[in-house]
Amino acid sequence: MIKTDIVQEAEKIASDFASTSDFTISEAIKRLKSTGYHISERIVRYIESKYKYILPKRDESSGYRLYTKDDITNIATYLYFRALNLSRKKISRFFELEHTIKILKDCGELRGNQATRLGLLKEERKILALEIKQRIKFSKEMGKIHLDSLDDIIKNQS
C-alpha cells in the first residue's frame, strides 16, 4: 500500500486505540477528521459501496458497520487520491493492483504465468505511482498540499 503522511496519521490514530480492534462509522469518521478531512457518514458509505477493498463487518447485536484499521487507512488513501484529482477509475485500479500483488506475493514461489503476471502488475503499479508522484509535486507547487514528506509514495513500489 502506498503510504502518505495522511495515511500514516490515520494508522497512528487508529493504533492509539489498540484496545479497540474495530470502529463504528462515527468513530472512524472522528479519526479521519482528526487527520484534516471533512468527511460524513454519507461519504464513507459511498466509498464503501464503490470499492470492494473497504469491507466493514457488521455487529450482530446492533447491526452497526465495524471498520478495521485497514479500512480506515484505505478510506484515508481514497480521500487523499481524490484530493489529487485522481480519477475514481484509477483509484479503483490502484486498490485492485495492491490487492492482487499482495495475493500473488503471499502465494510463495511463483512460476511461469504467475511470475510474469506479477511482473506486469508491478510495472503497471509503478506507472500509476509515477502519475501520483507527479500530481503530488504539482499540487505542492500550487500550494494545494502541505505535507512534509511524500517520498514514501514510490519507496514501497518494489
pLDDT in tens, 32-81: 887 777 788 999 998 888 887 788 888 889 989 899 888 888 888 888 88
Alpha carbon distance 77, 52 (integer Å): 14
| Interval 99-143: pLDDT, tens | 888 888 888 777 888 888 888 998 998 898 888 888 878 877 776
Architecture of domain 5-155: Orthogonal Bundle (1.10)
Q: What is the pLDDT of residue 15?
A: 59
Confidence of residue 14 (pLDDT cuts 50, 70, 90): low
Question: How many C-alpha atoms does 147 have within 13 Å on its Cβ side?
Answer: 25
Q: Report the candidate in 92, 93, 115 with the shortest Cα–Cα distance to residue 105.
A: 115
Tell me, what's the pLDDT at 66? 92
Three-state SS at 101? helix
pLDDT at 149 over 50: no
Q: Give the whole-angstrom CA distance, residue 28 versus residue 44.
A: 9
Domain ranges of the chain: 5-155
